[in-house]
Amino acid sequence: MTGDSGHQRREEGSAAASVRARARAGAGAHPGLLWLRGGGRAMEACCETRKTSAHDGDRLTTTGIGDLSARYLMHTYSRAMIAPVRGSGVRVWDADGKEYLDFLGGIAVCGLGHCHPAVVAAVKKQAETLLHCSNLYLIEGQALLAKALLDGSPFGKAFFCNSGAEANEAAIKLARKYARMRHEDGRYEIVTALGSFHGRTLATVTATGQPKYQKGFEPLPTGFRYVPFNDVAALEKAVSDVTAAVLLEPVQGEGGVHVADEAYLGRARQLCDERGALLILDEVQTGMGRTGRMFAFEHFAIEPDAVTLAKALGGGVPIGAILARDEAAQAFTPGTHASTFGGNPLACAAALAVVETIRAEGLVERAAEMGRYLAGMLGALAGRFPQVAEIRGKGLMLGMEFGECEGDARGPAAPARDVAAACLGRGLLVNAVSDTTLRFLPPLVVGRADIDEAVSILEKAMGVMFG
Ligand SMILES: Cc1ncc(COP(=O)(O)O)c(C=O)c1O
């Protein structure tokens, strides 16, 4: 099976190479259009190419990439028809050479911006040294990264994985194991918030308090209970003798950029202490300086038992982590949890460069400062457009909430999505987390001039939309 598909891929590869060569030579009825053939079967994908610089050779155009994607990729994403192929700082360029100001940053992944020289250098160096090493052996970069993340934090130990979902999966497992170790009473329940987002594995999509992501995947794992976000009374009712952990985002990201109340997190801490449950904060989106503190929990007068990280941690290289207090971390013993790729040398080299650069360049403070500036600019825009109901968030994680636009004949049904699309057309990447919420997650290296430019594009897009 594997051999067959490998063989087929090679055939397709060589067929593609030969049609590329023909296209380069200008042969065929449609110059610049590639028709891929594989395994003797004509494929529908029509791959348009364009000449780029000499060393790049032919590169697929946006249309070509779109056609191939539609033909060969599972349709799990509603993708915009742009194909970024190069990035630097807060800008990306698409396959057709168009420039964009990136205020989405790979959904909070590109904290250092695109292709930060420190990350690129670290990845290059590590790639030439040792790409992978099993966790059966010691991994220098993993130990150094753990030290860099943990020193000065309330946490004592790290476990590395490859994504946010995996980090939360590890956290859920750790909470259950810790409950067994500490209480020996079989408690297992994880309390999470409605509107939360914790990932797409079966356990983390169940932890995610949004039924739309769970639909069709039933039966879901048992042991999860949901409470309205920021509702202290509901949390008090939900946390009980069977609670192993409370898992919350300090700022809900995918749920619409909602900041946790100080009193809410404070009460969550108290309840967990009273019941001997773990308080775990999902900092997959908020971590690594995004909110103007290294970890978002630092805005609050509490310390969690564990945080989960991913997204910005690797500067674009996939890596996730759970950092836990020593006592909780003891629950993971040899053989209880593992990941082949987790904490691999390449990912750790990138992440170490990220952590060191955030500190060396003062990017946490910069995120706080630029976040204030962006919030101020968006607030001023809100003053000019009555359709904007609220600007909310922390640091460089901001949301613009549109009101109902009721009674306004010009008001679109899904203003946030329409505004995001209008910005895209004008060269600004932002995203709508709902019909009514536009989200801004620019890289932490963003400057005032970039913010001015982005807000000016946004203003034009909103002007067209709202008149
Ligand atoms: C808060 C939070 N947790 C977990 C995840 C899942 O991360 P990943 O997509 O890396 O699995 C996300 C992704 O958006 C997230 O925002």
How many Å apart are CA 271 and CA 231, to the nearest integer? 13
Radius of gyration of the chain (CA): 24
Do 146 and 75 fall within a single domain? no
Which residue, 402, 421, 422, is CA-closest to 463? 422
Run of H or E residues at 196: none
pLDDT in tens, 237-273: 999 999 999 999 999 999 999 999 999 999 999 999 9
Do 185 and 307 fall within a single domain? yes
pLDDT at 37 over 70: no
Count of the separate structural domains present in the chain: 3
Do 159 and 230 fall within a single domain? yes
Do 220 and 336 fall within a single domain? yes
- Has 160 been annotated as catalytic? no
DSSP 306: E
- C-beta separation of 416 from 309 below 8 A: no
Q: What is the pTM of this model?
A: 0.89
pLDDT at 49 over 60: yes
pLDDT in tens, 364-391: 999 999 999 999 999 999 999 999 999 9
Do 166 and 235 fall within a single domain? yes
Do 71 and 123 fall within a single domain? no
Angle at 186 between CA 185 and CA 190, to 5 degrees: 120
Instruction: Evaluate the CA torsion angle 171, 177, 180, 185 in order and state its sign.
Output: positive
Structural domain contains residue 372: yes
Question: What average pLDDT score do residues 92-112 get?
Answer: 98
Which residue, 420, 431, 429, is CA-closest to 461? 420
- Has 311 been annotated as catalytic? yes
Do 244 and 263 fall within a single domain? yes
pLDDT at 211 over 50: yes
Ligand 1, residues at Cβ distance < 6 Å: 107, 163-165, 168, 197-199, 249, 253-254, 282, 284-285, 310
Which of 283, 284, 297 is the best mutation target for the ligand 1 pocket, counting ligand atoms within 8 Å of the beta carbon and taking the most? Answer: 284
How many Å apart are CA 94 and CA 198, to the nearest integer? 30
Which has the minimum average pLDDT: 13-22, 187-196, 451-460?
13-22
Structural domain contains residue 331: yes
Paired with 49 in beta bridges are 60
Structural domain contains residue 461: yes
Do 304 and 205 fall within a single domain? yes
Distance (angstroms) between ligand 1 centre and the Cα of 308 equals: 10
Question: What average pLDDT score do residues 286-307 get?
Answer: 98
How many Å apart are CA 312 and CA 285, to the nearest integer? 8
Structural domain boundaries, residue 241: 117-360
Residue with the two structure tokens 């994908």:
45
Which has the minimum average pLDDT: 67-76, 121-130, 157-166, 181-190?
181-190
Distance (angstroms) between ligand 1 centre and the Cα of 458 equals: 26
Distance (angstroms) between ligand 1 centre and the Cα of 290 equals: 14
Share of the chain above pLDDT 70, in %: 86
